[in-house]
Amino acid sequence: MPGPQNRAPRRPLSVRGPRPAARIGDNSRLRIAVGRILLIGALLIAGVKLVQVQGIQAEELSAQAQKQRTTRQNIPAERGSILDRNGNQLAFSIEVRALYILPQRARKTWDDARAKDPEKYPLSYEDHSREVARFISSTLGPEVNGEKTDEESVYQQLVKDISYEVLVSEAEPEKAAKIVAKYPAEIGSEYRSKRIYPNGDLASNIIGAANWRQDEKPPTTQGILGLENAQDNVLAGRMGRRVVDTMSGDDTLVIPNTERELVKPAPGKSLELTIDIDTQYAVQRMVTDYAAKSGAKNASAVVLDSRTGEIVAMANDKTYDPTEFGKASEDQKRNGAVSSLFEPGSVNKIVTAAAAVEYGLFKPDDVLSVPGSIKVADRIIRDAWNHPTVPMSFTGVFAKSSNVGTLLAAQEVGKERYAEMLQKFGLGKRTQSGVPAEEAGVVPPLGQWSGSTFGNLPIGQGLSMTLLQMTGMYQAIANDGLRIPPRLVRAEIGEEGARSEKQRPEGVRVVSPETAKTVRDMFRSVTQSDPRDPNQSGTGRQAALPGYQIAGKTGTAQQIDQTCKCYSQSQYWITFAGILPADNPRYVVGIMLDAPSGTPFSTSAAPLFHDIATFLTQRFQIPLSTEQTPYVQLQK
């Protein structure tokens, strides 16, 4: 009988074995299926919404979008100031605010709010506007810079049936903020800038004018005349950017209090000028008074620092108020000191004197036999007074302003060397001073000279220059023969007072220091006075200043008579250029009078030089000359 076998015990029929493992990928397929269902649902919802927007609500939404949209705008930068050499303000900007309302929108917003909640908004729009007008008037006062802001005037603006209305253009920012904070849903505030000229018409021919231009895109302060225009890029700075909500598709109608700044504007640089405000004021007043006393059509004066060529003052008798430049005539707006060309007359004789000394042709005490007239080509040139042939010292030729003696010396210099000297003195081209609207003047090229040209140029006829150029000629002699081109802008001043000095122009050697001193000494005799013998007096004795050596030169040049196209016998340019003091030069003054007539002051600008020089000695505490001007025998 076989023995027992080793078999595994049987499992009860009611107990299941382990489940087979799940197949990979079953859950992923489930998730994908669910995602598809959701996506299809979302697309169905979006489709329904799209149909609703483009079909059912299209007209309504389009109207809303048309009423309001986002617009990017530029933000004007703060404009730089214009300062004198000592930091005194000649022009600067202040921030103001224009308060405005969108009356039609304000009325609709108020009426809609009142319809929804009459208890919260019990007043009609008219009654509410009366409250707003009362608050604005009490905050601003009845008038702001000529604009009416009394309660009734403001109310009438608030209830107009128009889309946009400016309530006031130049409100103080603090007061404007108070009003906007009180009525933010109705009143909007817009940045504006106002240009201030604290000294009125002082130096207005130089500074020019700038004002807020609302018609520009974007609105900004823009230079219109003078330096304000010529240096607009420096003064204006760099605009910023902002986002605003605008109404009715018009980018100019900004919904109140919707501005969001993106990029801050960079303020403009300030300009520091070489002008001294006190000297400018005094010279401008004296020029204006002297023009009236002399009967001149126009008058100008320039004061240069003899060592640096800097323009300390530049004045014209006609000026204007920069805040009302639109009322000024073209003659008032012109800067005659750089834009009016004239023939300088005998002031130009310094070219002959400098050339003759530089080339060793004459010494101050050399004696010339000077006849009463001289023939040059087909012209006869005479002296201003009748005289036979007389012996004059070379110094006396210029002190007495002898045309004949000057031409005798010029002939010794020669045409080529004389033409070269005119160029060295800077004539016939702009000085590059930085003064706007500067003219170049006219000097005929040597190759175009006629036979009589060399009879005109040495006595200051047949060429033209500006007053600034004429004054610059004497600056060269005052500065030991080194001409420094004049300049007006001294420095640019950026943010936080960062000062950038403008590079000084390089000097031009005209004559040697020895020649310059000799000519200065010679031209002192122009102001010499001898009551015992008129033949020993200079033509500019009225320019003399007690205690100071003065070197200078008078000038009288015939103007062109337009009827005959010939030199007039009654209309003249009267000029004077002087160096103060001659023994230690500090300042050079140039003066031009246009056609003075009918008064005792019509024949000379020397008295005006005397007055200006007197002021300069006091203003800048110029020490007295160590010696009085030595007496020189002018005519033997």
Residues forming the active site:
346
Q: How far apart are CA 190 and CA 31, in angstroms?
A: 58
Supply 636's token pair.
């033997």
Residue 513 CB contacts under 8 Å (≥ 6 apart), including other chains: 480, 481
Could you identify the residue written with the tokens 């309001």?
68
- Number of residues that this document lists for the chain: 636
Please count the other Cβ atoms lying within 10 Å of the Cβ belonging to residue 50.
10
Q: Identify the helix (H) or strand (E) that includes residue 133.
A: helix 125-140
Supply 411's token pair.
């002939």
Q: Which residues are 375's β-sheet partners?
A: 380
Alpha helices in 366-414 (DSSP H): 394-399, 403-413
Q: How far apart are CA 523 and CA 395, in angstroms?
A: 7
Rg (CA), the chain: 41
Supply 347's token pair.
């002031």
Q: How far apart are CA 73 and CA 239, in angstroms?
A: 10
Exposure pattern of 455-480 as b/e (b: 16+ CB <10 Å)? bbbbbbbbbbbbbbbbbbbbbbbbbb
Q: How far apart are CA 187 and CA 552, in angstroms?
A: 66
Q: How far apart are CA 158 and CA 147, in angstroms?
A: 15
Counting beta carbons within 10 angstroms of the beta carbon of residue 538, is it exposed (0 to 12), middle (13 to 18) or buried (19 or more)?
buried
Supply 525's token pair.
């005799």
CA angle 143, 145, 149 (to 5 degrees): 25
Q: How far apart are CA 35 and CA 222, in angstroms?
A: 62
State phi, psi for 496 to the nearest 5 degrees: 60, 30
Q: Are 396 and 525 in contact (CB under 8 A)?
A: yes
Q: How far apart are CA 351 and CA 458, in angstroms?
A: 7
Q: Render 406-466 in DSSP notation, one character per residue.
A: HHHHHHHH-HHHHHHHHHHTTTTS----S-TT----B---GGG--TTHHHHGGGT-S-BB-
The 3-state DSSP class for residue 204 equals helix
N-terminal to C-terminal alpha carbon distance within the chain: 182
Q: Render 345-356 in DSSP notation, one character per residue.
A: GGGGHHHHHHHH
The 3-state DSSP class for residue 123 equals coil
Q: How far apart are CA 227 and CA 232, in angstroms?
A: 8
State phi, psi for 559 to the nearest 5 degrees: -85, 165
